Amino acid sequence: MMLARRLPACLATLLLLLLAACSGGGDAPRARLVDDARVYTLGPGDKLRITVYGEETLTGEYGVTGAGDVSFPLIGNIPVAGRTVEDLQTELTTRLGSGYIADPRVSAEIINYRPFYILGEVARPGQYDFAVGLTVEQAVAAAGGFTYRANSRKVFLKRATDTREMLVDLRETPSFPVRPGDTIRVAERFF
């Protein structure tokens, strides 16, 4: 008699555990919007416009190589991966000012960011151009929207600098920011 009363409770608990396991969360850490406060750092694939005022031969467009360097005339390769644009400006000013140009004034800006990637249950998975202020929802829209099989409530996002995916709950943070080099994965829904 006692077993008959406990059996429905055990089955209900087992069903809840199975639903939680199938919800797609797995062991992926939950994404936090605080991450957006970080400063953008350069990486392979970024394209820069560097201006050295009064020096037209040094002014131009420069790409960040696969090794994370910018090859600049007179100076050579400058490692920039993981550094900010401001860091690059400071280094160029310092190096050019030490024997090449008197009182150099340098500005740098990003003209093309490295792309982001989206895969899984979207109409057109693939590589897309990054735009400043891009959110996960906008990235999904750029890829043609969710398929009918997609879990439109939760997606997985892997930053280019991370080794693990994080879970982004679109009900909690619909405007979660995307960064250049990110990979977004849209999983299937189970129900």
Which residues have CB under 8 Å from 150's CB, separation 6+?
120, 121, 122, 186, 187, 188, 189
Which residues have CB under 8 Å from 147's CB, separation 6+?
121, 122, 123
Segment 23-52 mean pLDDT: 69
Buried b (16+ CB within 10 A) or exposed e, 69-79: bbebeeeeebe
Exposed/middle/buried for residue 14 (C-beta within 10 Å: 0-12, 13-18, 19+): exposed
Tokens of 61: 């467009």
* Least trusted range by pLDDT, from 5-14, 24-33, 52-61, 117-126: 5-14
In 3D, which of 24, 16, 38, 23 has the Cα closest to residue 185?
Answer: 24
User: Alpha-carbon distance 88 to 90, whole Å?
Assistant: 5
What does the pLDDT read at residue 8?
A: 53
pLDDT grade for 34, boundaries at 50, 70 and 90? very low
What does the pLDDT read at residue 32?
A: 54
pLDDT of 73 strictly over 50:
yes
Give the strand pairing for 116-120 and 106-112. unpaired
What does the pLDDT read at residue 38?
A: 53
Domains and CATH numbers, the chain: 26-38+115-186 (3.10.560.10), 47-112 (3.30.1950.10)
**Using an 8 Å Cβ cutoff, are 43 and 68 in contact?**
yes
Q: How much is the mean pLDDT over the chain?
A: 84
